[in-house]
Amino acid sequence: MRWIDLDGCRALLVNNELFTAVPNPTYNPVGVPGSLERYFRAANVDGEAILDIIEMHEIQPEYHNREDRVAALDAQGVDLAWLLPSLGFGLEEMLLDDPEALYAVFRAYNTWLDEDWGYDRDGRIQTGPMISLVEPAEAEADMRLAIDRGARFVTFRPAPVDVPGTPRSPGDPVHDRVWGMAAEAGVIIAIHAADSGYAKYLKNWGEGNRYRDLFASSLPEVMSLNYERPIFDMMAAIICHGVFDRHPALRVATLELGAGWVPYLLKRLGKSYGKTPQLFGRDPVESFREHVWVTPFYEDDVREVCDALGVDRVLLGSDWPHPEGLSEPRAWLPDFSSLTRTEQRLCLRENLQLLSGR
């Protein structure tokens, strides 16, 4: 890991390659919360580039200081928040050929996260240490450490276990000890949007093969290589490869990945079960609805998601203070207006409380 000067800006080298998953890895200046709402609601009628739409400002104390963040939660009327890394989600893909460095970086981050923010310090903020499945024994050690330090959830990227030369499914039994430890301890498996390595598929379609290329043309957006495709594939693999059958207490939450993929995955699982029920341990649609919680994007149809999945499996994922989120968590309330008051309390409050052990 090295900081360098690149055309007058501070840039990050990871494994001797330029880190591009985050445009400004110093986060100062940083995007104004909600400034990309028009873009993500698909209302960019003037065809402006995303860099022309986003508003920037100096990094605010509540973005990086815990006491200020708790004060911001008080002002916003937020009782409990899950915080997740941002820059960290671009690192695993860049360090796959150096597992020793990968685990060193993840462990350094996880130690800082516990010391600076706490995994579950006071019931207001919960954070999730990052875990990679590349080396099963190392992943088990990191899961044990997370459990011993009181983590309520741990964080994975939506991707195959892309070991060079020998890729694996996360549902491969070699990873059962990790899933079993989480299930036994009641720790949630949080899967968050990341560099999933899917940019390589663009090369097969005549485009670039870097993560930053996902915004260079319309094709990656239509293919949803950033969000829906990786989580669709990962959840299909987890279910079809029997993870929930072998670990019936395991719980998974998908974060900053939207919910547009959910109805189609349930449809595909249902059709496959109808054709080959002997290949499943149980009805895969029921398994998904029992074990998986999702956070819709504000451009998703929340009513449709609740009807497909169950209202007790939907969470508010505000993504505050990111520019692709909204100006504050309460700004999401109109997107849940199609629900009854009881359903709103579940989605906006009680589901996460129950999942978090609160």
Instruction: Map the chain to HEC letters.
Output: CEEEEECCEEEEEECCEECCCCCCCCCCCEECCCCCHHHHCCCCCCCCCHHHHCCEECCCHHHHCHHHHHHHHHHHCCCCEEECCCHHHHHHHHCCCCHHHHHHHHHHHHHHHHHHCCCECCCCEEECCECCCCCHHHHHHHHHHHHHCCCCEEEECCCCECCCCCCECCCCHHHHHHHHHHHHHCCEEEEECCCCCCCHHHHHCCCCCCHHHHHCCHHHHHHCCCCHHHHHHHHHHHHHCCHHHHCCCCCEEEECCCCCCHHHHHHHHHHHHHHCHHHCCCCHHHHHHHHEEECCCCCCCHHHHHHHHCHHHECCCCCCCCCCCCCCHHHHHHHHCCCCHHHHHHHHHHHHHHHHCC
Domain count, the chain: 1
Residue 214 clears pLDDT 50, i.e. is over it: no
144 in any annotated domain: yes
Alpha carbons 204 and 76: distance in angstroms, whole number: 46
Residue 50 burial by CB count (10 A; 0-12/13-18/19+): exposed, middle or buried? Answer: middle
If pLDDT is split at 50, 70 and 90, which confidence band does 215 have? low
pLDDT digits (tens, 9 = 90+) for 292-320: 999 999 999 999 999 999 999 999 999 99
151 in a domain, yes or no?
A: yes
Identify the residue whose tokens are 């019931």. 123
Sorting pLDDT into bands at 50, 70 and 90, what band is 216? low
Q: Is residue 20 part of a domain?
A: no
Digit-coded pLDDT (tens) for 263-283? 999 999 999 999 999 999 999
If you average pLDDT over residues 142-159, what whole number do you get?
98
On whether residue 52 sits in a domain, the answer given is no
CB atoms inside a 10 Å sphere around CB 222: 8
Which amino acid, 214?
L
Asked, for residue 93, whether it belongs to a domain, the answer is: yes
Does residue 159 surpass a pLDDT of 90? yes
Whether residue 213 is contained in a domain is answered as yes
Percent of the chain with pLDDT over 90: 89
Range of the domain at 288: 81-356
Q: Is 193 inside a domain boundary? A: yes
Residue 143 sits in a domain whose CATH number is 3.20.20.140
**Residue 35, pLDDT above cutoff 60:** yes
pLDDT tens-digit map of 77-104: 999 999 998 899 999 999 999 999 999 9
Does 36 reside within a domain?
A: no
